[in-house]
Amino acid sequence: MNAISTPAAALSRTDYRTLGLAALGGALEIYDFIVFAFFAATLSHLFFPPQMPEWLRLLQTFGIFATGYLARPLGGMLMAHFADRLGRKRMFSLSMLMMAGPCLLIGLLPTYAQIGYLAPLLLLCLRLLQGAAVGGEVPSAWTFVAEHAPARHRGYALGLLQAGLTMGYLLGALTATLLAEIFSPQQMQDYAWRIPFLLGGPLGLFGVWLRRWLNETPVFLSLRSQRQERAYPLLEVLRSHRSTLLPAALLTCVLTSAVIIPVVVTPTLLQQHFAWSAKDAFALGSLGIVFLNIGCVIAGRVTDRVGPLHSLILYSLLLPVGIGLLYASLIGGWRWPGVAYAIAGLCCGIVGVVPSAMISLFPADIRVSGIAVTYNIAYSLWASAAPLLLIAAAPWSPWVSAWFGLAMGGVGLFAASRFRAPSVPHWENAAYSRI
């Protein structure tokens, strides 16, 4: 069921500019957050005592990386509160500033050899700031684009945005691959590890500058003119929209799974269990990301045609088909695994459907807070645990990721059965009619 069905024109040049700035900024912000993971092995040697066992150094480095996920819920809820109270644009820019600044500072940090245990402590503090920032970015970005886009093209706009956000992962992977080709392992440890962070910081600050040209959303301006802002949006979510929290959290788990299987888990398993080289595994994974982005845009178009509910049902069925085909090709040793990876990326298009569904689940006056509390808590738990469980279970059966995809398809269908979009107040409809 569509929350808003007001007829609207196609995306204008201004809409595309808004969408482009939002997607570019989001990609740069995701890059700033994820690039840490690609250089975790190098950072483990630089920020912890050399006499510490290798496995413990790496574990502590990934622990610092994981704190970014743990900081997401609190940071996201705080930023969402002010986004619902003060406006989407302000928090949209603040989240990027909070991501870019720490990224730049990580590239400038002294190492353990220079300042001792203060080095990992400073690294931890900067990752906490980045986690809080990314917790506010995604809910704000979805809401900002949805409230600017014409109603009949909202799914397409959100699909393009989600593709832009996912490009941040690809940008991180390509940067890591390029630096590994240019620099030797010793050069990487001596100085080259700083390059991706020193590059990401200014790029993120450039994104902050670009977002100066964005306008506040018509929906929030209408909300303010009608004095419909909530004093405590999160309390209103917990008081009046508890039934919405479960399907929203489940949809987040499905979206997260549709990203981590092709982007995180499969490239790792290609090396550990299918004897692929790191270079070939990352190349195939990058192909999967490209087709995942295309799948997001196609899914957005489908959502505009049939609505978020029917799109959720369709892509919940396609998700296990794509993942199953991918692992059948790897286990069976098919000649063209890239084709199967591309099809899997397209079938993971539920990543482009979930934003439209989440937007439809919450009314405008609590929208960012509602998305932030469900998305960030579910994402933090699921993105932290699921990859570890899948990689740990892979020796038991190479099909475990395919079975996991099947289970997530079932979760998506269950969430669709609980999908109930709220009625839209007249002032919000009036705001959309002016878009």
Which of 198, 217, 195, 181 has the alpha carbon at shortest distance from 14?
Answer: 217
Question: Does the pLDDT value for residue 414 go beyond 90?
Answer: yes
- Percent of the chain at pLDDT > 70 equals 83
- Give the residue-averaged pLDDT of 129-143: 81
Could you give the CA distance from residue 244 to residue 358 in angstroms, rounded to a whole number?
10
pLDDT tens, position by position, 303-350: 999 999 999 999 999 999 999 999 999 998 888 889 999 999 999 989
pLDDT of residue 311: 94
Total domains in the fold of the chain: 1
Q: Considering the entire predicted model, what is its pTM?
A: 0.79
**Domain that residue 340 falls in:** 13-433
Which of 78, 89, 69 has the alpha carbon at shortest distance from 134?
Answer: 69
Biggest CA pair distance of the chain: 66
Under the banding of pLDDT at 50, 70 and 90, the label for residue 413 is: very high
What does the mean pLDDT of the chain come to? 81
pLDDT of residue 432: 46
Question: Does the pLDDT value for residue 148 go beyond 60?
Answer: yes
- Give the residue-averaged pLDDT of 136-142: 81
φ/ψ region of 76 (left if φ > 0, alpha if ψ in -120 to 50, else beta) reads: alpha
Structure tokens at 367: 């929208």
- Percent of the chain at pLDDT > 90 equals 23
Q: Is residue 191 part of a domain?
A: yes
If one compares 227 and 63, the residue with the highest pLDDT of the two is 63
Under the banding of pLDDT at 50, 70 and 90, the label for residue 138 is: confident
Which of 156, 132, 154 has the alpha carbon at shortest distance from 143?
Answer: 154
If one compares 424 and 278, the residue with the highest pLDDT of the two is 278
Q: Of the spans 91-100, 147-156, 202-211, which averages the highest pLDDT? A: 147-156
Q: For residues 76 and 135, is the Cβ–Cβ distance under 8 A?
A: yes
- Give the residue-averaged pLDDT of 275-280: 78
pLDDT tens, position by position, 350-364: 999 999 999 988 887
Q: Is residue 195 part of a domain?
A: yes
pLDDT of residue 86: 66
Could you give the CA distance from residue 2 to residue 317 in angstroms, rounded to a whole number?
20
Q: Is residue 4 part of a domain?
A: no
Lowest mean pLDDT among 15-19, 199-203, 290-294: 15-19
Under the banding of pLDDT at 50, 70 and 90, the label for residue 427 is: very low
Could you give the CA distance from residue 99 to residue 339 in angstroms, rounded to a whole number?
35
Helices 400-417/367-393 angle, 10° precision? 160
Lowest mean pLDDT among 202-211, 285-294, 411-420, 422-431: 422-431
How many CA atoms lie less than 13 Å away from 318 in the CB half-sphere? Answer: 20
Q: Is residue 176 part of a domain?
A: yes
pLDDT tens, position by position, 71-130: 777 777 777 766 676 666 677 677 778 878 888 898 999 998 899 889 888 988 888 888
Could you give the CA distance from residue 7 to residue 357 in angstroms, rounded to a whole number?
19
Q: Is residue 322 part of a domain?
A: yes
Q: Is residue 369 part of a domain?
A: yes
Report the CATH number that the domain containing residue 44 is assigned in CATH.
1.20.1250.20
pLDDT of residue 421: 64
Under the banding of pLDDT at 50, 70 and 90, the label for residue 8 is: very low
Q: For residues 101 and 93, is the Cβ–Cβ distance under 8 A?
A: no
Could you give the CA distance from residue 109 to residue 200 in angstroms, rounded to a whole number?
14
Lowest mean pLDDT among 26-30, 81-85, 175-179: 81-85
Helices 195-210/13-38 angle, 10° precision? 160
Q: Is residue 6 part of a domain?
A: no
Q: Is residue 398 part of a domain?
A: yes
Cβ-Cβ contacts under 8 Å for 214 (sequence gap 6 or more): 18, 21, 22, 89, 92, 93, 144
pLDDT of residue 88: 67
